[in-house]
């Protein structure tokens, strides 16, 4: 049985869409500047009263397009800053083994997971400080849809109750997908309960595989 969820799962490849999106909106910004310059020239030479309808249309178009571009550039700028900050913080990506992951502090483990999603081009927000109902990381895909991530630096398998709690948290947060990532594994009951639901389970071995494999060769598989 196949299930389709609104959230776009990570493709585990470099964020190639971000430069393309930046180029598209750069072109849009140039178009906006052209319209703005044309409107300014018309008002300077002819005044507002001549071709008033056209002037009103150009003014409205400049305002609407300017607001849209400002919102988009704010979002793109934030995504670029996350990529730059992740690069400056750790340079080249360094995959860790399960024992190394288990020696991290909870905050360091969450930061590691966040970087794993950042390098796929996703907008990542660490919400641990807000104590938002068990959500450690909030993901936003390229269309603005959200997923919640819960990170468990465990040595014992994660059971079904944790998944039930995460599912409730996902619904409460208004997200459409959830990830539970652990350094250990999942019980058979947990995997059975998650089957068919918008929840992706990533155990320790899978996490190491995703981090070590070249991004474009590591598609996400629901298990």
DSSP 8-69: -----S--THHHHHHHHHHHHHHHHHHHHHHHHHHHHHH-SSTTHHHHHHHHHHHHHHHHHH
The token pair that represents 31 in the structure block: 């178009």
Give residue 93's pLDDT: 58
Domain 98-217 class in CATH: alpha beta
Distance CA 171, CA 55 (A): 48
Q: Which residues neighbour 202 within 8 Å (Cβ) at sequence distance 6 or greater? A: 179, 180, 181, 182, 210
Distance CA 62, CA 38 (A): 10
Helix axes 52-90, 106-118, angle to 10 degrees: 130
Angstrom distances, CA of residue 21 to CA of 18, 78, 175, 212, 220: 5, 13, 24, 28, 23
Q: What 3-state DSSP class applies to 124?
A: strand
The token pair that represents 165 in the structure block: 């709690």
Give residue 173's pLDDT: 86
Give residue 182's pLDDT: 95
Return the H-helix or E-strand segment holding 196. Answer: none
Domain spans in the chain, listed from the N-terminal domain onward: 17-90, 98-217
In order along its 223 residues, the chain shows pLDDT tens digits of 333 344 555 555 445 567 788 888 899 899 999 988 988 888 888 887 777 788 888 888 999 998 998 988 887 887 777 666 655 554 455 778 899 898 888 888 988 898 888 877 778 887 755 454 578 899 988 778 889 999 999 999 999 999 999 999 999 888 989 999 999 999 999 999 999 999 999 999 999 888 876 444 333 433 3
The token pair that represents 10 in the structure block: 């990570």
Place of tokens 């598989």: 221
3-state secondary structure 63-113: HHHHHHHHHHHHHHHHHHHHHHHHHHHHCCCCCCCHHHHHCCCHHHHHHHH
């Amino acid at each position: 049985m196949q299930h389709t969820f609104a959230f776009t799962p990570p493709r585990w490849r470099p964020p190639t869409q971000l430069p393309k999106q930046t180029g598209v909106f750069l072109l849009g910004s140039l178009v906006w500047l052209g319209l703005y310059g044309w409107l300014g020239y018309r008002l300077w030479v002819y005044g507002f009263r001549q071709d008033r309808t056209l002037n009103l249309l150009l003014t409205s178009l400049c305002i609407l397009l300017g607001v849209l571009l400002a919102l988009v550039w704010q979002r793109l700028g934030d995504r670029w800053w996350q990529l730059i900050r992740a690069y400056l913080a750790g340079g080249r990506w360094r995959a860790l083994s399960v024992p190394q992951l288990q020696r991290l502090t909870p905050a360091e483990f969450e930061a590691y997971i966040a970087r794993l999603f950042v390098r796929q081009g996703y907008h990542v927000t660490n919400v641990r400080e807000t104590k938002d109902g068990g959500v450690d990381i909030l993901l936003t895909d390229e269309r603005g849809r959200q997923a919640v991530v819960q990170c468990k630096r465990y040595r014992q398998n994660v059971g079904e109750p944790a998944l039930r709690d995460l599912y409730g948290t996902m619904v409460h947060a208004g997200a459409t997908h959830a990830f539970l990532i652990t350094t250990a594994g999942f019980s058979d009951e947990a995997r059975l309960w998650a089957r068919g639901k918008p929840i992706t389970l990533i155990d320790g071995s899978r996490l190491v595989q995703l981090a070590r494999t070249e991004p474009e060769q590591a598609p996400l598989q629901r298990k």
